[in-house]
C-alpha cells in the first residue's frame, strides 16, 4: 500500500525525498515488528539475535564488546547489556581477556548455537514477508539503499 494511505496523512509530502524518509522508517518498523514476533518463541529479541549471529560468525573464536558494536546493525545499541541478557539465558559466556585486561571476550555457547540453528530451520522469519518483490527488484532495492547512504 502506498505510504500516504498507510499513515493517512492529509498533508502531502513536500518532496519525494521526504516520502523516502518516512517510507524507510515505516518499512523498517513494519519489518522489525514481524521479526520480533517471529523470534519471541525462542526467547530472543532482534538485537539479541543479531548479536548472537555475529558471535556464531566468530565461533569458536570469542568477540570483544568493541567487535560486536562494530558489526551490529544498530551501532549505538548497548552491547554490554545485550551480552548481560544473553548471559542470563546461557547463550554466551564471558571472560576478561588475558592479553588486555580492559577487554572482555564473549563466546557463543552450545546452547546458543542450538537456538540459532532452530531459528535457521524456521527461517521463513525475515524472508518470507519479502517475496512481494522479485529477486531483480530486491537487487535494485539494495542498490538504491546503498546509494542513498552515500
Partner DNA sequence: CAAAATTAGATGTAGTGACATATAATTAGG
Partner DNA sequence: CCTAATTATATGTCACTACATCTAATTTTG
Residue window 36-55: x/- pattern of binding to DNA, with contact defined by CB under 7 A: xx--x----x-xx-------
Cβ distance to DNA smaller for residue 96 or 148: 96
Whole-angstrom distance, CA of residue 86 vs CA of residue 89: 5
**Interacting residue with a copy of itself among 60, 75, 88, 121 (CB under 8 A):** 75
Rounded Cα–Cα distance for residues 109 and 93 (Å): 7
Q: Which of residues 84-143 bind DNA (CB under 7 A)?
A: 85, 94, 97, 100-104
CB hemisphere CA count around 4 (13 angstroms): 9
CA 12 centroid distance within chain = 32
Could you tell me how far CA 78 lies from the centroid of its own chain? 13
Q: Which residues bind a copy of itself (CB under 8 A)?
A: 1-3, 6-11, 15-33, 35, 53-54, 56-57, 70-76, 126-127, 130-133, 135, 137-142, 144-150
Amino acid at each position: 500500500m502506498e505510504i500516504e494511505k498507510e499513515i493517512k496523512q492529509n498533508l502531502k509530502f513536500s518532496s519525494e525525498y521526504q516520502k523516502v524518509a518516512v517510507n524507510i522508517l515505516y518499512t523498517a518498523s513494519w519489518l522489525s515488528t514481524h521479526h520480533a514476533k517471529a523470534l519471541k518463541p525462542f526467547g530472543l529479541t532482534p538485537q539479541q539475535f543479531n548479536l548472537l549471529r555475529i558471535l556464531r560468525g566468530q565461533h569458536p573464536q570469542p568477540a570483544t564488546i568493541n567487535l560486536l558494536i562494530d558489526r551490529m546493525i544498530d551501532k549505538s545499541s548497548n552491547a554490554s547489556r545485550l551480552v548481560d541478557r544473553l548471559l542470563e539465558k546461557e547463550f554466551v559466556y564471558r571472560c576478561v581477556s588475558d592479553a588486555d585486561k580492559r577487554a572482555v571476550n564473549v563466546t557463543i555457547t552450545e546452547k546458543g548455537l542450538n537456538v540459532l540453528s532452530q531459528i535457521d530451520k524456521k527461517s521463513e522469519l525475515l524472508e518470507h514477508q519479502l517475496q512481494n518483490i522479485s529477486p531483480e527488484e530486491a537487487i535494485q532495492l539494495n542498490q538504491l539503499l546503498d546509494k542513498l547512504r552515500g
